Amino acid sequence: MVSPFLRVLVFLFVGGLFGTYFGGYRCIAAHTYAVAAQHEATTVGRVVRIVSGKDGPAWHYVFSVNGVKMDDYSRVCATPLAPGACDNKGPVLVYYSYQPYSNSRLEDFAVAGRKAYRTGGGALAIALPCLVLSSAGMVILARKKKNEGDSDPEDEKGRSKSDDVPDAIHIAPSE
């Protein structure tokens, strides 16, 4: 039978794994945005349509850089150049960067990086202690169970180990 304490430890362990993965992913994204913010440029683009999805709306926009037309999606539309431009297919300010890879957003990379660090750092601050403490608790429970399993069944009947030793090995002091 599994103890309720072990169930809690397993729950905390799985939650810690998930939180560590999520927090690590967000911190890596934040670092990417921080690098992009150092090399960002802006241009004017236009919202083409709003795509609804399970994660909320995404804005599909087009823009041109050095005569090359590009299109992208963004979950945030924070840079409208006219009132209601995000909802009415209007002009928007597009931030783009080619460092560390080609990327564009309808939000400043520095702002996106701060948001990502905030969520990722918070998730890691909660998840890592849960992961470490639950792992330590499971190791302690496993050792405790192993030590309980190592006990000799003869000890439980009241016999001592010295009863199992033949008399031939006993050394008597000389008088």
Question: For the segment 141-166, what is each residue's pLDDT rounded down to a tens digit?
Answer: 888 888 887 665 555 555 555 555 55
pLDDT confidence tier of residue 27, bands split at 50, 70 and 90: very high
Residue 30 has pLDDT above 80, yes or no: yes
Better pLDDT: 61 or 53 = 61
Mean pLDDT, residues 2-24: 92
The tokens for 133 are 């403490």
Task: Look at residue 96 in the predicted model and tell me its pLDDT.
Answer: 94
Average predicted confidence (pLDDT) for the chain: 87
Q: Is the dihedral of CA 91, 78, 32, 58 positive or negative?
A: negative
The string of pLDDT tens digits covering residues 62-120 is 999 988 999 999 999 999 999 989 888 899 999 999 988 888 999 999 999 999 999 99
The residues, any chain, with a CB within 8 Å of residue 109's CB and separated by 6 or more, are 33, 34, 36, 37, 40, 95, 97, 103
Give pLDDT, residue 5. 86
In the chain, % of residues over pLDDT 90: 64
Strand pairing category for 41-53 and 56-65? antiparallel
* pLDDT given at position 132: 95
Percent residues over pLDDT 70 in the chain = 86
Question: What pLDDT shows up at residue 128?
Answer: 95
Average pLDDT over residues 1-15: 87
Supply the DSSP symbol for 75. S
